[in-house]
């Protein structure tokens, strides 16, 4: 009823496509069949985020706890008494200390090295791995969570500094401790549907562009032998014509020979690829 009276509305009703374009100016929906899957959120204290490839090492629990290892009384003690002082019956703190020391020993410069960057990083690595194991069992312990996150970030900061100061040592340390170092991205924000779809669409377009370029390159390559043959024939023809007409000969034999060589090489390559 209104469309008959208002000219612009009558035009809109006549063409549905134009109508949809004119009316739907918000929340534009793409026709591309791109499906976005929201990545699952990973806690910042998980090994995937902290970069720890391996967990705590498995240790032999039949050995004495570190604080009793030098005891002379235990040397002559009964087997049952000895067993009571092993890591099996020691508190978790002692076992962890033993593990930290073993990790630190791998990177120490000398036996009294306690303050070098690599030893500090190794110590924090041990602590992080021990705490990650505890957090698996008690995920609601927020105090530990905060401590762990601070430790992970402190280790990352010191790795960053070590990289700037001594790159070779930094790489050696990563290999020895089995830690992955990824610098922070320039922009840190939560992934959103709109932004992700924009990125995926851009990637889709880029892929199409690359695919078409590759196809075109392959097509040109397939045309190359025929083109070279034609070029060789044409140059020979031009040379003969120039000779017959008594004009200065601009085409040399070397030029034609070069093209023949190119053609032979191309054919050889084709034969080789066929055999493969």
Closest by Cα among 121, 222, 244 to 176: 121
Q: How far apart are alpha carbons 181 and 170 in whole angstroms?
A: 10
Closest by Cα among 162, 132, 163 to 148: 132
163 binds another protein (CB under 8 A): yes
Residue whose CB is less far from another protein, 8 or 186: 186
Per-residue DSSP letter, 187: S
178 binds another protein (CB under 8 A): yes
Binding to another protein (CB under 8 A) within 92-121 occurs at: 105-113, 118
Q: How far apart are alpha carbons 40 and 165 in whole angstroms?
A: 36
Residue whose CB is less far from another protein, 53 or 249: 53
Among the listed ranges 66-74, 124-132, 167-175, 231-239, the one in contact with another protein (CB under 8 A) is 167-175
Q: Environment class of residue 87 by beta-carbon count within 10 Å: exposed (0-12), middle (13-18) or buried (19+)?
A: buried
Q: How far apart are alpha carbons 38 and 30 in whole angstroms?
A: 18
Among the listed ranges 23-31, 62-70, 81-89, 175-183, the one in contact with another protein (CB under 8 A) is 175-183
Closest by Cα among 169, 129, 128, 170 to 149: 128
Angle subtended by helix axes 117-137 and 142-165, to nearest 10 = 150
Residue whose CB is less far from another protein, 139 or 191: 191
180 binds another protein (CB under 8 A): yes
Residue whose CB is less far from another protein, 36 or 237: 36
Residue whose CB is less far from another protein, 49 or 268: 49
248 binds another protein (CB under 8 A): no
Q: Environment class of residue 191 by beta-carbon count within 10 Å: exposed (0-12), middle (13-18) or buried (19+)?
A: exposed
Among the listed ranges 57-65, 171-179, 215-223, 240-248, the one in contact with another protein (CB under 8 A) is 171-179
45 binds another protein (CB under 8 A): no
| Residue where the block lists tokens 């004495």 | 64
The answer to whether residues 56 and 99 touch, using CB atoms and an 8 Å cutoff, is: yes
Count CB atoms within 10 A of the CB of residue 51.
19
Minimum distance, C-beta of residue 152 to another protein, in the bound complex (Å) = 13
Minimum distance, C-beta of residue 130 to another protein, in the bound complex (Å) = 21
195 binds another protein (CB under 8 A): yes
Residue whose CB is less far from another protein, 195 or 257: 195
Binding characters for another protein, 68-97, by CB under 8 A (x = yes): ------------------------------
The answer to whether residues 94 and 65 touch, using CB atoms and an 8 Å cutoff, is: yes
Among the listed ranges 22-30, 33-41, 133-141, 208-216, the one in contact with another protein (CB under 8 A) is 33-41
124 binds another protein (CB under 8 A): no
Q: Which helix (H) or strand (E) holds 149?
A: helix 142-165
Contact residues toward another protein (CB under 8 A) are: 36-40, 49, 53, 105-113, 118, 163-175, 178-191, 195-196, 199-200
């Amino acid at each position: 009823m209104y469309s008959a009276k208002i000219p612009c509305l009558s035009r809109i009703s006549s063409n549905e496509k134009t109508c949809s374009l004119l009316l739907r100016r918000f929340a534009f929906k793409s026709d591309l069949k791109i499906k976005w899957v929201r990545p699952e959120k990973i806690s910042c204290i998980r090994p995937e985020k902290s970069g720890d490839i391996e967990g705590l090492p498995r240790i032999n629990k039949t050995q004495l706890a570190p604080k009793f290892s030098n005891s002379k009384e235990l040397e002559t003690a009964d087997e049952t008494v000895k067993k009571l002082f092993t890591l099996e019956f020691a508190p978790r703190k002692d076992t962890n200390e033993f593990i930290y020391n073993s990790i630190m020993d791998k990177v120490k410069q000398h036996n009294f090295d306690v303050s070098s960057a690599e030893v500090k990083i190794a110590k924090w690595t041990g602590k992080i791995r021990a705490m990650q194991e505890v957090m698996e069992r008690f995920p609601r312990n927020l105090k530990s969570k905060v401590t762990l996150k601070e430790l992970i970030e402190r280790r990352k900061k010191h790795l960053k500094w070590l990289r700037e100061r001594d790159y070779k040592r930094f790489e050696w340390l990563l290999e020895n401790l089995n830690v992955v170092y990824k610098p922070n991205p320039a922009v840190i924000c939560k992934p959103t549907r709109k932004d992700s779809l924009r990125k995926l669409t851009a990637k889709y377009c880029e892929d199409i562009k690359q695919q078409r370029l590759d196809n075109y390159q392959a097509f040109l390559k397939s045309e190359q032998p025929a083109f070279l043959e034609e070029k060789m024939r044409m140059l020979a023809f031009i040379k003969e014509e120039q000779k017959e007409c008594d004009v200065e000969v601009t085409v040399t034999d070397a030029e034609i020979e070069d093209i023949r060589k190119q053609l032979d090489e191309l054919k050889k390559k084709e034969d080789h690829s066929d055999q493969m």
